[in-house]
Amino acid sequence: MKENLASKRCTQCLNDKSLDMFYNHKGSKDGKTEKCAECSRRNKRDYYNKNKENVLKRNNVYRQNNMIDDFYSVYYLPEEHYIGITNQPKLRFQQHRRAGKIINGYEIIGIYDNIFDAMITEIEFHRRGYFGFTHSRLLPDDFYKG
């Protein structure tokens, strides 16, 4: 029997579905998960509902170990002339390092209770010529023109 490459059978619901109904998985032969996205979501939701207390404890431990803060830091990478925002400094600086950015000598410009105040500070630095993610989808077209 020749296998149809445009579809796949879910190992849980046993229905044949198109490949776009499965999540990507680099480790599998066809690059997709064994269970369809619908079954995967249902499993995840059911697991959470049955184990809510343990999931919340595990999430809190993860937050503490990965330094996810309840506030937002606006930071400056002087070697890159880069301004950014994060509430996960350890993770964000690892991402910068992997991307080849020099993070030595970084400075915290400000610490904010909410993302919007942090974004205002970041945007103002970007208007002045600093590099970083621009929130262009959220702003009027002429915002950066000053």
Please report, for residues 47, 65, 109, 111, the alpha-carbon distance to residue 30 in angstroms, rounded to integers and kept in the order given.
Answer: 27, 35, 46, 45
Three-state SS for 143? helix
Residue 90: what pLDDT?
82
Residue 133: what pLDDT?
76
Residue 2: what pLDDT?
47
Mean pLDDT by 10 residues, the chain (146 residues): 71 95 92 94 94 89 69 91 89 90 91 88 89 65 54
Q: What is the DSSP string of 75-101?
A: EEETTTTEEEEES-HHHHHHHHHHTT-
Residue 1: what pLDDT?
41
Residue 139: what pLDDT?
56
